[in-house]
Every structure is written in structure tokens, then in C-alpha cells.
Structure 1
Amino acid sequence: MFKRSLQRQFTRFNSHGHGHGHVSKFINEPAFKLDAKKGAEFIKKYEEKVHHSEGVTNLWKKITYFVAIPAILLAAVPIINIELHHAKHREHQKHLSDEEWPTQYDYQNIRNKKFFWGDGDKTLFWNNDCNRHIEH
């Protein structure tokens, strides 16, 4: 009875579709044969990869900590100063009247048809602090 149930189970995995004579092959034979030489070779190659990967990992950590992070900080300092200057300028422009606002040229704020969102005049990336549509 046990043998028949195994025959039914292993029939699914048999490429021929006839699993009756092959059940003992799956039960009695190991899936692989141990080879000490190949095992030792595999372990040696694995340890070499681990040793190599530890060295590469340490190299990239050093590059990150001693090159990338200082470079980002050095680049951030002047950018922060520029952005603070821009913020002051935008704060000043908020309070300007339409007459004092910089000249609107013919090619700016062209509206052939209204946008389908909001009031139809503002673009998707409209910023009220630095954009203004002055109609003459």
C-alpha cells in the first residue's frame, strides 16, 4: 500500500509519465553522491569569495565615508547659501504689486486654452511665490 502511494506521488515528477517501475530509484538511491575532493574545492572557492568580498566591501565603505560624504557636504555649503538668497528674493517679490513685477514678455504665460485643473490659468508646477500671470 505504501509503495502504491509513492508510485502515485512520483508519477507527477517522471518525465515519461509512467512511474510504476521507477519508484525504487527515488527511494533507495541518494539524490547526489558525496565527493570529498569536490567538497573541499567548493569550500576553498567559497572562502576565497568571502575573503575577496570582505575586502571590496571595506573599500566601498571607506570610499563612502571618506570621499562621498565629504564631497556631498562640501557641495551643499554653497548651494545652501544660494538657496537662502533665493528665499529672501522670493519673499521680497511676494509683496510687489503687479506694476513693480518684472516685465512680462509676449512669449511668457501663453494660454491657448485653459488648463482643466484649478482656475485654468496656473500650470501644473505653478508656485504663487515666484509665478504671476499679469494680463494687460
Structure 2
Amino acid sequence: MAPDINKAHAQSVISATVASGHHYGLGLPMIASENIISPMVREAINSDLHGRYAEGLPGKRYYQGCDDFDDIESLGIKLAKQVFNSRFANIQSTSGTVSNIAALKALANPGDQITAVSTADGGHISHARMG
């Protein structure tokens, strides 16, 4: 493709992104994964941390160079232990589905009845028949 065509496509994507952001600000998203984030969270997401791997636990990562992740996660663990008056905390979550399973296993017993919001009403896909 010629550079001017690439530039035109890039500008179209940028324009659509700006329009989406404007439209998004006109309502209140009721899907948890589309929640409105604070400026501080947006700043963290826009950092280079969002595209890096930090598998493992603080101080015991699979990849090298995760000192910043270790500091951030260690602080999160410390705060979670304070908030929940706990000796242990794990603030990692691999997905909404795994988080839901963890919560159900921790809070429910076999045979307990639970209620789930349908996906049409904003519930997570893991609550659905096909989830």
C-alpha cells in the first residue's frame, strides 16, 4: 500500500476511536468489563506495563525484569490483607470465568442454590448455559 493510503486508513481508525469514546461517555455501561475507569487506572493501563508478561508471584517470576510488577503487586497484596484482615492474599485473576469459579468455590457448598444475572442483563458469559 502507498503511504498516503495507510495514512488515510490510520486517520479513519483514529476518527472512529474518538467517536466511540464520545459515544461511550454519553451513557453508563452496565457490562462489568466495560466499566468506566478512573484517570489513575487509565494512566496505569496506558503505561508499558499493559503489554508485558509477569507470570508468577512477586520475586518468583518466569520472566526477568519484573521488579516494577513485583512492587505493584506486593503493595496490592499488602492492602488486600489489611482490608480483609487476612494473613494471605492473592490479587491475580486470570479471567472473569476463573474469578467466578474461585468465588463460587469459596462461598458456596455443593447443592447450594445460586442466582446469576443473564448475559442479556449484564451478567458474565460464564453464568450462561454456554459459558
Task: Return the TM-score normalized by structure 2.
Answer: 0.25
Task: Return the TM-score normalized by structure 1.
Answer: 0.24
Question: Greater CA radius of gyration, 1 or 2?
Answer: 1
